Structure 1
Amino acid sequence: MTTHPRSALSGIKVLDLSRVLAGPWCTQMLADLGADVVKVERPLAGDDTRQWGPPFLRDDDGEVTQQASYYTSCNRNKRSITIDMATPGGQQLIRRMAAEADVLVENFKVGGLRQYGLDYESLREINPRLVYCSVTGFGQTGPYAERAGYDLMVQAMSGLMSITGHADGEPGGGPLKVGVAVIDVLTGLYAANAVQAALHARNATGEGQHIDMALLDVAMAIQCNQASGYLASGKAPTRAGNQHPSLTPYQDFPSADGNVLLAIGNDGQFARFCSAVDHPEWSADERFATNRNRVANRQALLDLMTPVMKTRTTGEWVALFEDKAVPCGPINTLADAFEDPQVKARGLRIDLPRWGDAPAPDHVSSIPGVANPIRMSGTPVTYRNASPALGQHTDEVLLEMGFGAEEIARLKAEKIV
């Protein structure tokens, strides 16, 4: 496989033994940055998310296929090879791949790969330079280490759901999960950072290392200001809907035709807001002159603001504040967001071709997706191809490894690949 000559991770080989979201998000990030990522999938079944639908992709004739769009969200720029790692031949094949890899990413249960001789200690013996990243729900140590961990469970256990949603007693009150599997995604991002740091360290030491990533660790870490506030005060924060615990006004308001969001982060912005809505006396009021006082007198301020915010449409408010450096915006649907002129100008929707000829029955030549947000001037993110069909590159990868046509045929006949 050829990669973009100016890609940041060009020449780095990644063996991807992960599935679902956190691990694949990590390896997709590495692939976007130019690494050659080979994804190992189960024969016939593949990654679990290939079946996580609807929605499913449509083929070139507009017919619904058997591949869920979930899979395509986190597996672009990769090659797919099918290997049955439960067989001795499959284990030997993966060990041979690991011997030549720079990075291995896996998200099996703790100890799950040891029985196959594919754990870090075993593979380090054949490739001391290997950066081996394990992604689990609760990490390699601790009383929960052997538990399976899922994003929703970890959102609940970490306290994130206790600060997400409307307060008890309000309409729709109660704990809520975030609308996407945010812990999985952020664990993938942390893992990609860790992998690149380990590769940099390897340049100095010549040795790889084991990276232990846990969803629970990430969920605790990303609560940043809320967690720090609890540790400083001893008081656990509670749900406050779209309000900010340390800023006001920083929330949504009903407008004449829907809802509008204000994100006022300092006293200057508040003063400009007050002037624009013809209530300069609010910013002069001692109760509201500083953010600290506004938070202390939050309800009194909201009682004044809410009727005023209902007097104009969302679009009118956005237009009014646009040249006044007052952060204000609509609450879009995804459909609205993809039609937003800024989103279009930044090219955040991408349509990628399938990598060569996908095997039947998956005749999908182009797959839509969301662009990588990283913009680098010298070594830009590259988009080579959309997510692969199951096992699409099995022959290609085996040929690169030195297997001949007869050997590949034997591996297939023995159901190793």
Structure 2
Amino acid sequence: MADKRADHHRDSSRQQSEQDKSHPFINEKIVRPPMTKRQEARRVLLTVFCAVLFGVLSAVCFVLTRPVAQRLMGQEIGSEGSQITIPKDEPETVPSTGEASVSESVLETEPVDEMIRSELEKYQYSMDDFNKLYGNLRSVAADADNGLVVVHSIQHEMDWFDNPIETSGQFSGVVIARAPTEILILTPEKAVEAADTIEVAFSDGTVLPGTVKQSDSIMELAVVGVDGSQMNKEQFDKVKVIALGNSYGVKQGDVVVAVGAPAGIVRSSAYGSISCVLRNVQAVDGATRIFYADVAGDSSAGTFVLNTEGELIGWTTDKYDESSASTMTKVAAVSDYKGVLEKMSNGSEVPYFGIQGQEVSQAMEDSGMPEGIYVITSVNDSPAYNAGIQPGDVITWVNGAKIGNMKDFQNQIEALSLGDKIKVAVLRSGKNGYTEIEFQVTIGAR
């Protein structure tokens, strides 16, 4: 039986083989005819067209999604390494001249002063003269308008019935710098300290969200950043940066313009003059100049003071009450604060040591006090206080660098960063005279 099945299988295979030989066309390979030159040219053009189309679509998608990607990723594409730099000013120096040269200068200027005074007394001022004067001051305020903003401080709360409510406060701000894709605004610290969200309204009506770059609780100021990539080119170019002036050159009698919120209302303005210049006013970790001006000012809402060139020379402050009886507005000078502004504009914490002091004068040295910075106050719970520095100590060096005046000390502190550990040497008075003590101080943030 098995042999019959094997014979049957061999017969079937033989028949299949003969059938394959009888139909040889089934095993042939079909080859497409070669392409013509016209077809080849058409394929090349189609490939080039598709490549160009995909390139254009990719570029469009990149441009449209770039601002969104920046906001989601929390960074600024193309602005890496763009640090804000604010040039520092040097205080004016009074040359030491002999009595003869001083008397010669007085003799030379007195006749000129008398001539000018005589001519001014003879001149009859008209209303046109006053209108021209105030017209020029109005122009200074108007030119600064594109550099002023309104900062909306928004808080989200719940009422007694658990209904969400939104409260908003308005503060004035001034544009102090502009990076490739960011606008930096100086504003009172109150505008940001309790805000859940911040919105910034520009002069053309554009409203954009703002973020806090950094704040300074000592001077009660903050820097807010706005993403400029959310503006079109026309809007971005329209924003004006208010130049930071040299407040060391401000003198008694200078005419000034107050902008921001001098009336307690944003986008108000006022005019006046400098009545008094106080130098070397004690401040935390340094010294500053304070101007007394007969101009309106509201420090809590934000009032910024410009010179007649339209440059920012300071802002009104409620600190440094040298005379509680004075009804004039106090203005903090910008030049003493430029180092701090630079750090805040770049998002860095402002270093904090925590003393108020003064330079040891010649009279103090004659009485036996060593050269250095005399500590008047060691601010409670400050890094200096916690390290053990006390009122009455005389700081002589910081990290090995000799400290001869408040400017040296201020520059040393501003060059530090949060968390830096520094060595500070003081001379402390005792029964046996002055003894040097070395402290290690960990720098904090203001």
* More strand by percentage: 2
Same fold, TM exceeding 0.5? Answer: no
Determine which structure has greater relative contact order: mean sequence separation of CA pairs < 8 Å that are 6+ residues apart, divided by chain length: 1
| TM-score between the two structures when normalised by the length of structure 2 | 0.23
* More helix by percentage: 1
| TM-score between the two structures when normalised by the length of structure 1 | 0.25
